[in-house]
Structure formats: structure tokens, C-alpha cells
Amino acid sequence: MSQPSRGGVRHETVGPDRAGQRLDNFLISLLGPVPKSLVYRLVRTGQVRVNGSRAKPMKKLRAGDEVRVPPVKQPDSVPGSLPAGLVERVRACIVDQTEDYVILDKPAGLAMHGGSGLSYGLMDAIAKIDERWRPVHRLDRPTSGLIVLACHHQALRRLQQSFVAREVDKRYLALLDGILPEDRVCVDAPLKKIRDGSGQHRVIVDEEGQSARSTFHLLERVGGYSYVEVRIETGRTHQIRAHAASIGLPLVGDELYNPKPCPDGLNRLFLHAHYLRLSWPEDRVYSSPLPAELAQALEHLRAA
């Protein structure tokens, strides 16, 4: 039976990773498996507003924009329950909780939101824990590691402002397919979202894209691979993956940007958000160790 979404009207602040995204696509990713015709009707009738004003579906959003989202009934065909044990699995991933935010260590393979063929996402499980929590930023489905959830609207706005102002230090551990030519390589190249010949969405370096900067620090050369720490000053979609591919060193296990098979024993993207430093409401640092499957794959390569 269809049920209205809880909480009635909500106001979502556009994060830096969604800057440049069209309003219709933003709503589709937010609302999950609802008919696109419903999304366009909500926009057309003014039920969806951006910064208090009507907007067209193709309007490109900016970081910090506030989007009014009305309650939406889910289709009857959407499953009413999550996989057994998922909520407790997600609850066990909570690293820290304050009155303003929650730090969670997201497992690989779990999308932030349902939709696009997925009947559920991380935020569906989060809603079972506390429906007030909202993501400040996001990680790709195959990426594991630290994310921030705001506990209330004021914290959401303040934390997203910190991300936009580049007051947050985010670092990732990755394995590049090839040898990094120097100990430190900075890629400062704009990124643009496209749809390739197969219909898949991907990101490429393009002068008409959004500014993006990633710095790759070599930690270790392992056979024909480079184990690196990556610092990003911006938070574009697929930023690390697209920048790595643009210099001819795609991430290991990246099905979208790397046609080569994974090394033996690895069946996921080698990308993990391991370090997070927040400046608000006070300076705090969080870290997450390399997941066991990635650490084991690294040891196998060292022993080869």
C-alpha cells in the first residue's frame, strides 16, 4: 500500500558534489523509484521550488541552493522492507555521533539512495535509525569510507557551507593501474558529465566542465600498480576516478573507467575515504582503516 513520505515538506540543501546537476535529476536521485512524469509535474505545478522560487526541470543547481521537496507517495510496486539485517549493519558503521552530525563508515556496494534500478539505498536504512539525519555529501556506490550526516537542518547548512568553502580535508586511499611518474601529481582539470555510446553516465575532462582539483601522493609502488593517497579540493561526481583515468592511470576495479580486470582476489573498486577533518563546530579528525578485502589484495600484490 502506498504511504506518503514521512516529515511532510522538506528542504534539501544542494551539496558541493551536486553543484551543476539539473533539478530534475537531483529530484530523481532524491526521491528514488517514482515515475519521472510525477517529478516533472511537481516542478511544473510549483510544488518544487529553488530558493523559494519556481524553477524549470533543466535548471542547473548551485552548491548551497535550497530545494523545497513536497511529500511524495511511493508506487505500490516499491518493496516496503529492506534486506534483513541491513539497518543493524548500517548502525554498526556509525563511527561517532554528536548533537550536530554523525560520522558513518559506508560499506562498498551500498548506494546513497535508491533509484536507477535500485530498490533501496543507505538513506533508506538511515531513515529507520533516525529520519531527521541528512547526508552532507556522498560517496559513489562502489566506494567505501567516511561520510557525514547532519542531525538537523541548521547543521546541514553549516556543514555544507564548510564543504563549499573548502574547510574540510578529505583524503582517500586508492590503487592506480600503472606507475605514478612522480611522488606527487596534481591534476587540475575541469570535469563534465556526459552519456556515452552505451547510454551510461560518466565524467570526462572537458574545458566546459566544472573546476576540479585532485592531488595524488605516492605511498608505495606495488608491481605495476601505485598505492596512493588522494586529496581532493573539490567534490565533483566521480572526480578521483575521472582524474585518474585522464592521466592514464585508472583506478583498479573501476568498471566504468578501467577495462582491465582486477588482480586476483579483488572484486571491487579500490577506493576508500579514509580521512576526514571537520572545522565546524570544532576541529575534529576521523579516520577509517583500509577495509579487509582491499588490505588483503594489497598484500597479495606485495607477495607476488
Work out whether strand 101-106 and strand 213-222 pair parallel, antiparallel, or are unpaired. unpaired
DSSP state of 271: E
Catalytic residue selected from 100, 124, 140, 254: 140
> Contacts from 130-139 at CB under 8 Å and sequence distance 24+?
131/6, 131/7, 133/102, 134/12, 135/15, 136/15, 136/101, 136/160, 136/163, 137/15, 137/16, 137/17, 137/163, 137/235, 138/15, 138/17, 138/112, 139/106, 139/112, 139/273
Cα torsion at 135, 71, 91, 138 (round to 10°)? -20
**Residue pointed to by grid coordinates 558513518:** 104
Element (H, E) at 205: strand 201-205
Four-CA torsion 228, 242, 208, 214, nearest 10 degrees:
-10
Question: What Rg, from alpha-carbon coordinates, does the chain have?
Answer: 19
Does the active-site annotation cover 140?
yes
Q: Cα–Cα distances in Å, from 277 out to 70, 108, 216, 228, 285?
A: 34, 21, 18, 19, 4
Nearest Cα neighbor of 290 from 145, 169, 177 is 145
Q: Are 57 and 23 in contact (CB under 8 A)?
A: yes
Residues classed as catalytic: 140
